[in-house]
Amino acid sequence: MEHLRVPEIFCWCLYNALVSVPAVFISYMEGRNQTHVTEFILLGLSDQGEQQSLLFWPFLSMYLVTFTGNLLMVLAIITDSCLHTPMYFFLSNLSFSDICFTSTTIPKMLLNIQTQSRVISYEGCLSQMYFFMLFGGLDHFLLTVMAYDRFVAICHPLHYMVIMNPKFCGILLLGSWILSVLDSLLHDLLILRLSFCTKLEILHFFCELKQVIQLACSDRFLNDLAVYLVSGLLGVVPLTGILFSYSRIVTSILRISSVRGKYKAFSTCGSHLSVVSLFYGTCLGVYLSSAAAQNSRASAIASVMYTVVTPMLNPFIYGLRNRDIKQALGKLFSRGAFSAYRILCFKIKL
């Protein structure tokens, strides 16, 4: 499965080419924006300055754990040839997406707490929304693709390598990137057409799409329509695909006669099922809490679960439940320790 690196590199190139699109449109549309908005105010998770300061170290710790854990997952999969299979190929991309997903919001939040400033520029807000929706949507699609991968592995094991060939895996990944880019780009372009009022305070720790739309003074019909239609389409379709895949998986597992065979089959998708449950469970919880709460501060606090906690737990779920990942991490650490030992010996000789 060495050829799986080719579509991954290709998608990296696509990503580098597409991330400049929002900046081009922002610079183009700035002259047409009649409101001359230059900045927004992020009110954060608390109105009290002392409470905001107390949040710095917990969030910094969670961000470092998220970044380090997911980075180790990516490095372990890349360096171990035994893990060059479709399942781990998509898992490495999910870990990369989680790193980028948390990096779009938490560093800015930590900077604001440290500098005691709640300001984010207009361009910075648009860029943050773009990347947040991009990598959030990419997580949705990758989890769906991984569910399909497990469906093929369990329900059609003899044809697994034929169906999940490197070219098809590259197409699935490329499609996930393109759909995520188009989704985030659509919402950003619709934001550019809005005129904003004098009150530019966002009851959140990052530029959340719905709250930015609510600050607008101009007609928001197209924006609201796009949010509900696109979110419903890109939310319901992947979730339906996941549920269908696991319904077929459960049916196939129940047909296995031996208990050991059932356990072995279920263990191959247990980690993914845990991540899916955590991801969609927290997203649903945030949606229900925001619908029931009278203010948006409760929604902001609840959103910490899927923006920070879920990406932080993913490496632990896959690492602790997967023997192959444990072995790959052991090899990675031993290789790093050996390299450090050689460098130390070389310096001592000098």
More confident site: 245 or 34: 245
pLDDT in tens, 312-344: 999 988 887 778 888 888 888 887 654 554 554
Task: Report helix, strand or coil for 208.
Answer: coil
- Give 78-96 pLDDT, tens digit per residue: 998 889 999 999 999 999 9
The reported pLDDT for the residue numbered 15 is 46
Reported as a pLDDT band with limits 50, 70 and 90, residue 345 is low
Tell whether the model's pLDDT for residue 222 goes beyond 60.
yes
293: pLDDT confidence band, cut at 50, 70 and 90?
A: low
163-187 mean pLDDT: 95
Is the pLDDT assigned to residue 292 strictly greater than 90?
A: no
Report the pLDDT value the prediction gives residue 246, as an integer from 0 to 100.
Answer: 93
What are residue 42's DSSP bridge partners? 202
Alpha-carbon dihedral sign for residues 48, 53, 58, 64: positive
Instruction: Of 94-108, 239-253, 301-315, give the lowest mean pLDDT range.
Output: 301-315
Any idea what the Cα angle at residue 98 is, between residues 94 and 101, rounded to 5°?
Answer: 135
CATH code, residues 39-337: 1.20.1070.10
- What's the alpha-carbon Rg for the chain, to the nearest Å? 22
Which pLDDT value is given to residue 203? 87
Which residue type does 99 have?
Answer: I
Where residue 40 falls (left for φ over 0; alpha for ψ -120 to 50; beta otherwise) is: beta
Average pLDDT of the residues of the chain = 82
pLDDT, tens digit, 9 for 90 and up, residues 32-69:
444 467 899 998 887 776 777 788 999 999 999 999 99
CA 299/CA 217 separation, integer angstroms? 23
Amino acid 127: pLDDT? 95
Domain residue ranges of the chain, discontinuous segments joined by +: 39-337
Q: In this structure, how many other beta carbons lie within 10 angstroms of the beta carbon of residue 106?
A: 23
Cβ neighbors of 34 (< 8 A, separation 6 or more) are 195
**pLDDT classification of 2: cutoffs 50, 70, 90:** very low
What pLDDT shows up at residue 331? 84
Place of tokens 């699935």: 172
pLDDT of residue 36: 63
| Residue 340 confidence (pLDDT) | 52
pLDDT at residue 97 is higher than 90? yes
Report the percent of the chain where pLDDT is more than 90: 44
Most confident of the following: 40-54, 173-187, 198-212, 319-333: 173-187
pTM of this structure: 0.84
Evaluate if residue 150 carries a pLDDT over 70: yes
- Taking the C-alpha atoms of residue 14 and residue 138, their distance in angstroms, rounded to an integer, is 14
Flag whether pLDDT at 6 surpasses 60: no
CB burial of 175-190 (b: ≥16 within 10 Å; e: otherwise) equals: ebbebbbebbbebbbb
| pLDDT of 259 higher than 90 | no
